[in-house]
Structure 1
Amino acid sequence: MKTIGVSALAILFAVFLPSSAVSQTASTKKGTVERIKVHGKGLEGNLSGDSPDRDVSVYLPPSYKTDKNRRYPVLYLLHGFTDNADQWYGFTRHWINLPEVVDKAFADPAVREMIIVTPNAYTKFFGSFYSNSVTTGNWEAYVAQELVGYIDSHYRTLANAASRGLTGHSMGGYGTIRIGQKYPEIFSSIYLLSPCCMSANLAANRNEAAAARMEVIKSMEELEKADFGTKAAFSTAAAWAPNPTKPPFYLDLPVKDGQPQPGILVKMAANAPLAVIDQYISNLKKLHAIAFDAGSKDVGIAASNKVLDSVLNDYQIKHTYEEYEGDHINRIGERIEKKVLPFFSENLSFDQPRRR
């Protein structure tokens, strides 16, 4: 993964401005990050054995600590496959420094401050896909209900759908539309960053060698050493084709003895947002704002985005769609700063509750 470089602008200010001015500017523009634990009742007893007590990173904007009477909209940001929240928030080696990106965005007076929340959805299968499964736990419900309820009860939030947004990258983009189209009463606006897994794939694996690699994996230790594609195959199977009678993985793969398994492929395909989007049109119409994008070099995902754009146009659902010059990860920090946060600044409600 790539890391985001620190701007040399601070060095320039240090040379030409008094030290007190530098300190004041820096302190007033930096938010704070808390890492908390949020228990998931629906994650209890998952067959993978992952803890239901999940790390959650919470970004509090610069004014949160000083403006004690103010309440804030909340943006829920979902990370991608093989990522974790710590990598996004700087608690460990990271490919994106989200607090730095957000601080930079909020330095623009046109971008209004909000709380940002990211649950750590890294599992023994390298990612939850934000789906409900006995194997990995009920992640969809955890994000939309349990996590939202906890944040509203522990932070100064504007606890209504109009003031809640949902976004995510890659697997997180998938989770954004999966959850967003089911819970318009919880989230009012969604933004998909390079969303994966949008289209149904009824071919088990066109690469016979890759299919064979799936079947030789017999333990978690072997899976941890496998290639990215094999890990993704197991992870999506755990999310979408769980099987409580098949330890140690508790899932059904889409191939068996080298042969495609039609029943399992149908289960997997039924979790592709573009395969079921017609069932959720009324919910999508309830959303206040929808946006999605992908890099032009991210070919498969860009193609799925074009289909999503076409479907929403057919149903006359207002949305914003963009294909930009880039690949799957190289401009995500920039997109969050320049596109995602301004989008939610414009579309979320910042109205403060009336005092009685």
Structure 2
Amino acid sequence: MTSTTGHQPRLINLPVQGKTLEGNPLGDPSLRLMPVYLPPSYDDKKRFPVIYLLAGFASSGASFTNYSFMTPSVPEIAERLIGERTMEETIIAMPDCMTRYGGSQYVDSAATGKYETYLVEEIVGAVDRNLKTLPGREHRAVAGKSSGGFGALRLAMRHPDVFSAAACHSGDMAFDLSYRPNFPAAARILERYNGNIAAFYERYFASPKPPQGEFALLDLLAMSAAYSPDRSRQAPENMRLPFDPETAETIEEVWQEWIGFDPVQMLQGEEHRLALSSLKLLFLDCGTMDEYNLQFGLRILTRELRRYGIAHRHEEFMDSHGGTSYRYKVSLPALALAIRA
């Protein structure tokens, strides 16, 4: 990583042995190395709050640390903001919840593994045991973009005892608008393989680079593994698709399982509304040109949040879905302030 500030952010790789991931259906490793950003005064005799930053689909914690020209990494963003005194000193933990399918959606699934449990119990526990943290929900936040934003919002809804602030950047929501429009594209790709999911994966994994134009199917297969696993089948076919591969029509029984994960639908549950109401900060944003229609989903969600009187911060900006890591310059200082000592 090359710093744009002249000062190298301090990073460590914290090993986290996931007992909950042992024997997972995909044979993915249970021992993960998690990049962690440590603030400048970490060596002083003080403790720090923690932001858990979740990567999007096909990315992992290490993705936040990669150098890219004109695009500072998350540790560089934090280092600069702290140096400018516009952000409180905070530990940033970047979990590895990657799977062979490209991502876990940070849920417990019979098709991939117990990644929700791994994150809220084992990762949080490892950070508190090994680092100079201010323990307790009051000093923890969860954030992410795209699938990571979905994960952050859903975890905040389900684990108010663990997190007291959350930020969701362009997170998956309003599944009717964001996922269902891609059913025909995924069906067209699967037809090239005669409907054979195993054949698709065999070619995908064997290719020297991802096959061009097949991401829509890869994405929906991973979502199927997360939201509608099939215990009766072996990987890589241990999932039920929410659409008919021949006609692209929605399979309503499976689709209803997916809908149960939709943050917009989850908000109808009183326990989830109470969880969000308990947050010190709920930050939500999305680009106005998002290719997955997530700006519309966010507007639906915030309308419901207003209806229920749940405090939140809603922002929109003129951009598409990708290449928006600069938005962390807005959310990270706000989260750090909310969970400071």
Q: SS at the partner of 2:267? A: helix
Equivalent residue number for residue 270 of structure 1:
260
Q: CA deviation at 1:255?
A: 3.1
Q: CA deviation at 1:329?
A: 2.7
CA gap of 1:103–1:206, structure 2 versus 1, over 3 A, is: closer
Equivalent residue number for residue 187 of structure 1:
163
Q: CA deviation at 1:193?
A: 1.1
Equivalent residue number for residue 301 of structure 1:
294
Equivalent residue number for residue 284 of structure 1:
276
Equivalent residue number for residue 232 of structure 2:
245
Contact 1:202 1:266 in 2 (8 A): no
Equivalent residue number for residue 63 of structure 1:
41
Distance 1:327 1:38 in 2: 34
Equivalent residue number for residue 74 of structure 2:
98
Structure 1 stretch 178-187 or stretch 264-273: which is displaced more? Answer: 264-273
Distance 2:90 2:172 in 1: 26
Q: Counterpart of 1:320 in structure 2: which amino acid? A: R
Q: Which has the larger radius of gyration?
A: 1
Contact 1:201 1:269 in 2 (8 A): no
Q: CA deviation at 1:211?
A: 1.2
Q: SS at the partner of 2:27? A: coil
Equivalent of 2:87 in 103, 111, 133: 111
CA gap of 1:129–1:239, structure 2 versus 1, over 3 A, is: same
Equivalent residue number for residue 327 of structure 1:
320
Q: Counterpart of 1:340 in structure 2: which amino acid? A: S
Q: CA deviation at 1:223?
A: 4.1
Equivalent residue number for residue 20 of structure 2:
42
Q: Counterpart of 1:71 in structure 2: which amino acid? A: R
Q: Does 1:232 align with 2:224?
A: no
Structure 1 stretch 246-255 or stretch 54-63: which is displaced more? Answer: 246-255
Distance 2:154 2:49 in 1: 21
Equivalent residue number for residue 340 of structure 1:
331
Equivalent residue number for residue 20 of structure 1:
none
Q: CA deviation at 1:247?
A: 2.0
Q: State the Cα deviation string for residues 154-209 of structure 1 (Å, max 9, x = none).
A: 00100011110110011100000111111111100001111124434698666545
- Unaligned stretches of 5+ in structure 1? 11-25, 351-356
Equivalent residue number for residue 16 of structure 1:
none
Structure 1 stretch 95-104 or stretch 317-326: which is displaced more? Answer: 95-104
TM-score (norm 1): 0.84
Q: Does 1:222 align with 2:203?
A: yes
CA gap of 1:295–1:203, structure 2 versus 1, over 3 A, is: closer
Contact 2:229 2:239 in 1 (8 A): yes
CA gap of 1:177–1:207, structure 2 versus 1, over 3 A, is: closer
Q: SS at the partner of 2:232? A: coil
How many residues align structurally?
324
Quote the sequence identity (%): 27
Q: SS at the partner of 1:330? A: coil
- Unaligned stretches of 5+ in structure 2? none
CA gap of 1:211–1:94, structure 2 versus 1, over 3 A, is: farther
Q: CA deviation at 1:6?
A: 6.4
Q: SS at the partner of 1:229? A: helix
CA gap of 1:213–1:94, structure 2 versus 1, over 3 A, is: farther
CA gap of 1:79–1:95, structure 2 versus 1, over 3 A, is: farther
CA gap of 1:287–1:208, structure 2 versus 1, over 3 A, is: closer
CA gap of 1:71–1:217, structure 2 versus 1, over 3 A, is: same
